[in-house]
Amino acid sequence: MIEVIKYPSVLESSNLELRNVARDLVSGLKIYHDNIGYLVGDLALSEGTSPHRNINSSPDENDYRIFLKAGLLLASQKLGSPITVTTGFPFSTFQVFKENAYRLLENEHIIEYDTQTFGGGGKKKMAVEVDRVAVIPEVVGCSMAVRQLYSDAPKNFFMISLGYGTMEAILSTEGGLVQRSSVSTFGLRYAINLITRELQKDNYLDLKTEHQIDQYFSEGSIILNRKRLDLKELRKQVIEQYYNDVISPSLRKAFSDSDFAKSADIYLAGGGANYSELVDLFKAEFDGLLNVHVPESPEQMASIGYCFNSLAINAGAKDKAVGLDLGNSSTILTTFKQEKGE
């Protein structure tokens, strides 16, 4: 029904010639912006020395525009042109960024990229027309995905987006979200910074970037000074500290007893929902009050919701609908699977 492409939201400038270092375009993304080459995603991790991304960057910043070009390039490779694109931002930046993002997206984009990285002949240019655009809050995209993917989803439910840069929560109803009950606060990055400080007490981190630490955090181990260190117990500790210091107090302020009277279900999305340690803390706090649900591939929910929103605004044209989540940790592109003959 849907197809998803996911790659790390990291980049690094590089004008070095790279040949046959990746298997395909997704793993070999090298995008040109203002005549400078940028390694994006997996290629930045494998060939770069300091892959990075600015957290919650604005549409005016170079890294946002480079990630956007990469996403549009991959979307056009699958669907052609024109396409309909929905993307989003956290509540904390949504009002500030949405107009600029809209103006940036609804355009014809000329994207220059390198094909040598995956066995091609050199630089190419691709014209991509975006004919319709929507910009919505990330957590709203997550709730749209729940309603579209789960036919048994309740009319009202709490939606939590556990992102890298931000954690967001809303009460989603058939009539829309309850604005009074919405919350936006620090994301999983808070726990990443905690574990980084703990590791620095006894180890030299060799100039590793925040996003590299995030990758080790996810994997549960890190190699320092030619020794493999198990991070699982330390990860559990910092996740518990993050939950107790940030998430739980924020939810207590946002959700009232009258809200809990409207729903008995809570859905967890975003990359943070992949950590069982974090999910267990939600289950413990809301035991007997809310049923805690974790969708399959929770980090994909915002992008999936965006894709369904694109379908809604382009009169049901599945062959043009794109959901593009330019996340702080991962970029996730969702399209509808194209049947033969379409």
- Is residue 164 included in any domain, yes or no? yes
42 and 86 part of one domain? yes
In a domain, 157, yes or no: yes
Residue 168 lies in a domain: yes
What is the spatial distance between Cα 262 and Cα 149, in angstroms, rounded to a whole number?
22
Residue 157 is part of which domain span? Answer: 140-188+251-299
193/147 Cα distance (integer angstroms):
34
Q: What is the CATH number of the domain that holds 279?
A: 3.30.420.40
Contact 304, 149 (CB under 8 A): yes
pLDDT tens for 25-43 read 999 999 999 999 999 999 9
Which one-letter DSSP state was computed for residue 118? G
- Same domain? 54 vs 151: no
Asked if 268 and 297 count as a contact pair (C-beta separation under 8 A), the reply is no
Q: Is there a single domain that holds both residue 121 and residue 144?
A: no
In the three-class reduction of DSSP (H, G, I as helix; E, B as strand; rest coil), residue 66 is classed as: helix
Are 30 and 92 members of one domain? yes
Please indicate, yes or no, whether residues 42 and 76 belong to a single structural domain of this protein. Answer: yes
Whether 169 maps to a domain, the answer reads: yes
Residue type, 287: D
DSSP SS3 for 209:
coil
The reply to whether 13 and 111 lie within a common domain is yes
324, 306 contact by CB (below 8 A) = yes
Does residue 243 form part of some domain? no
Per-residue pLDDT of the chain (342 residues; tens, 9 = 90+): 899 999 999 999 998 999 999 999 999 999 999 999 999 999 999 999 989 888 899 999 999 999 999 999 999 999 999 999 999 999 999 999 999 999 999 999 999 999 999 999 999 999 999 999 999 999 999 999 999 999 999 999 999 999 999 999 999 998 888 888 899 999 999 999 999 999 999 888 887 889 889 999 999 999 998 899 999 999 999 999 999 999 999 999 999 999 999 999 999 999 999 999 999 999 999 999 999 999 999 999 999 999 999 999 999 999 999 999 999 999 999 999 987 655
Q: Is 72 helix (H, G, I), strand (E, B) or coil?
A: helix
Residues 8 and 35 reside in one and the same domain: yes
Please give the pLDDT value at position 340. 60
| DSSP conformational letter for 79 | H
**Is 232 part of a structural domain of the chain?**
no
The answer to whether residues 43 and 88 belong to one domain is yes
Report pTM. Answer: 0.95
Flag whether 235 is in a domain: no
Domain count, the chain: 2
Instruction: For residue 222, tell me if it sits in a domain.
Output: no
Quote the tokens at residue 201.
Answer: 């007490």
Euclidean distance between the first and the last CA atom of the chain, given in angstroms as a whole number: 14
Q: Are residues 52 and 12 in the same domain?
A: yes
Same domain membership, residue 167 and residue 70:
no
Shared domain check, 157 and 61? no
Q: Are residues 107 and 12 in the same domain?
A: yes
